[in-house]
Structure 1
């Protein structure tokens, strides 16, 4: 089918090249999502991801900040950033997810590749363009879709080439980006500013008392509003943010588990072990050992299986 008589869309269509553990990895996922299957908490992965909304309205949370998104908005997510999509109640929303790793390029191109990937490093990595520029991007997406349907001995190379053409188009249009974060009501904005603070200070002392004092809000008011807005108690949100960051270090670093506990804001190893078991149903050591064993067999790490 064609969306807006222009963009090719096929529900549940997947294009997979390689595995997340490969240096050359692409995954294109055309599908729908709706409110009932919203993720419970923000997740992360060790590859790049682009979330493209193909519908009228949804939201995305990046490191505790809530952003409203619309048709053909590009949400560019760098590796390890905590994020999740939020779909409203009602009909399912169409979207395209693109996941990829960056393969090795010749030395003469590495500087330009890093510059291209700066799209994902922007303080607000969401891109929205006027109709004439959207049409250019739609043409690139349609080319990738069409090539994926062709049986060709250079199919992978063609998709790889067209994908970087897509990224280059967005990069060259970045000064035409019209996306601005929509204003939230005062209560929601306050709570998400606190959530963002938690993401940026998870390794520090964070308690109801500390946050209430820092944001000049009563403890009772904060405790009740935080649950109403985010769906989590303040304590659980702090703990989950710390655990997600601990998972990253367990999977992608050689740090000692006791050092990871301290780095992620836990006051003792026993507290870290107890909270980790609570949310992950495993000890930190078993989690790391199983992930490393699975990875050696070519399976992706456990924290990257979810798809928005």
Structure 2
């Protein structure tokens, strides 16, 4: 069902068990989104992350990060999606002292959850109840629809509570962590350019020796191991979206000076050459 009985009141959209295939470009929106993958084949791109989905996967999104599914024409693709205005439901939930149910979208931003068999059964049952109340379109069913959605948010909160607690524990507010975050933010904006420790030192005003030491301490990676991962991940996204992309062009566009170096790093990090990776996508 492409729309819900609450749409006019709260910018709420329920699309249940959708089997259609439409072209989806990268997009963003202000609504929070719950995406549930029922069955088929789909690769989902959110920002610089690539998720190969399995039936029973849930994606939670704050909506602002660019995202899109990639679906092969010959493959089945069944999903349910919910888009909702967080401000409307924040007011509604605060009246019940339950605004914490929106925390997964704020704390985890955009994340993928693997549901086990029991969680999958519980989540699918809640989705189905929402759709049934949505189809009735009566005054009482409207109330029950809202309650069913609150139940769904409660289920998601339970699924993500441990992840959120781990996220809070991992948030190091020390100066070193802040400095590493500055390095990561700079790399995110400039990974496709010629990067060196000397440039980081000049741009961020920290000693390159200090940056190298704290980056490895906080992340477990060297600075350039991280840069290479970011570049290769971007190359994989380009290959996914553009089957005709030339390996040489992609290598230059993601920041490598020499295609041979790009190919070596790509194989080291993925286990296959760029050419083999392209063939595996479109075979």
Shorter-normalised TM range: 0.5 to 0.7
Q: Which runs of 5+ in 2 are unaligned?
A: 164-183, 200-223, 255-283
| 1:39 maps to which of 24, 29, 32 | 24
Partner residue in 2 for 1:87: 71
The CA deviation string for residues 203-260 of structure 1, in whole angstroms up to 9 with x for no partner, is 845644349x95359x9x999877435427769x99xxxxxxxxxxxxxxxxxxxxxx
When residues 62 and 157 of structure 1 are mapped into structure 2, their CA distance, relative to the original with a 3 A threshold, is same
Count of residues in correspondence between the two structures: 195
The reply to whether residue 228 of structure 1 matches residue 239 of structure 2 is: yes
Larger Rg: 2
The reply to whether residue 174 of structure 1 matches residue 185 of structure 2 is: no
Partner residue in 1 for 2:62: 78
| 1:118 maps to which of 103, 110, 127 | 103
Q: Which has the higher contact order (CA 8 A, sep 6+)?
A: 1
Contact kept, 8 Å, 2:4 with 2:134, in 1: the verdict is: no
| Secondary structure, counterpart of 1:49 in structure 2 | strand
When residues 206 and 55 of structure 1 are mapped into structure 2, their CA distance, relative to the original with a 3 A threshold, is same
Q: Deviation at 1:72? A: 2.2
Contact kept, 8 Å, 1:33 with 1:94, in 2: the verdict is: yes
Q: Deviation at 1:107? A: 4.7
Q: Deviation at 1:176? A: 7.8
When residues 200 and 162 of structure 1 are mapped into structure 2, their CA distance, relative to the original with a 3 A threshold, is farther
Q: Which runs of 5+ in 1 are unaligned?
A: 1-12, 178-198, 239-308
Contact kept, 8 Å, 1:49 with 1:77, in 2: the verdict is: yes
Q: Per residue, is there more helix in 1 or in 2? A: 2
Q: 2: CA distance between counterparts of 1:147 and 1:223?
A: 42
Partner residue in 2 for 1:209: 194
| Secondary structure, counterpart of 1:142 in structure 2 | helix
Contact kept, 8 Å, 1:23 with 1:101, in 2: the verdict is: no
TM-score by length of 1: 0.52
The reply to whether residue 14 of structure 1 matches residue 14 of structure 2 is: no
When residues 200 and 234 of structure 1 are mapped into structure 2, their CA distance, relative to the original with a 3 A threshold, is farther
TM-score by length of 2: 0.56
